Amino acid sequence: MPTWNSRGLRGSHLEEIINRTNQKYKENNLALIQKVPTPITPVKIDSKSRHITLAYFDQKSTIDYIGAVQGLPVCFDAKECAVDTFSLQNIHEHQVEFMEKFEQQEGISFLLIYYSHKNIFCYLTFKKLNEFWKRGKNGGRKSFRFDELNADYLFESSNGYFIPYLEFLQKDLDSRD
pLDDT tens sequence across 145-161: 999 999 999 998 767 67
147 is in an annotated binding site: no
Looking at the chain, which runs of residues are DSSP E strands?
Answer: 31-35, 40-45, 52-57, 65-69, 72-81, 85-87, 108-115, 120-125, 143-145, 154-155
Cross-strand pairs, 77: 111
Range of the domain at 92: 7-175
Report how far residue 2's alpha carbon sits from residue 5's, in angstroms, rounded to the nearest whole number: 8
SS3 call for 138: coil
Residue 74 lies in a domain: yes
Which residue would you say has higher pLDDT here, 52 or 22? Answer: 22
62 is in an annotated binding site: yes
In this prediction, residue 104 carries a pLDDT of 97
In this prediction, residue 129 carries a pLDDT of 98
In this prediction, residue 83 carries a pLDDT of 97
- Read off the pLDDT of residues 57-110 as tens digits, 9 standing for 90 and up: 555 667 899 999 999 999 999 999 999 999 999 999 999 999 999 999 999 999
In this prediction, residue 7 carries a pLDDT of 39
Residue 139 lies in a domain: yes
Residue 127 lies in a domain: yes
Residue 19 lies in a domain: yes
Report how far residue 35's alpha carbon sits from residue 19's, in angstroms, rounded to the nearest whole number: 8
55, pLDDT greater than 70: no
Could you tell me the sign of the dihedral formed by the alpha carbons of 150, 156, 158, 163, in that order?
A: positive
Residue 105 lies in a domain: yes
77 is in an annotated binding site: yes
In this prediction, residue 67 carries a pLDDT of 97
Residue 1 lies in a domain: no
Residue 153 lies in a domain: yes
CATH of the domain at 36: 3.40.1350.10
Number of domains in the chain: 1
Residue 61 lies in a domain: yes
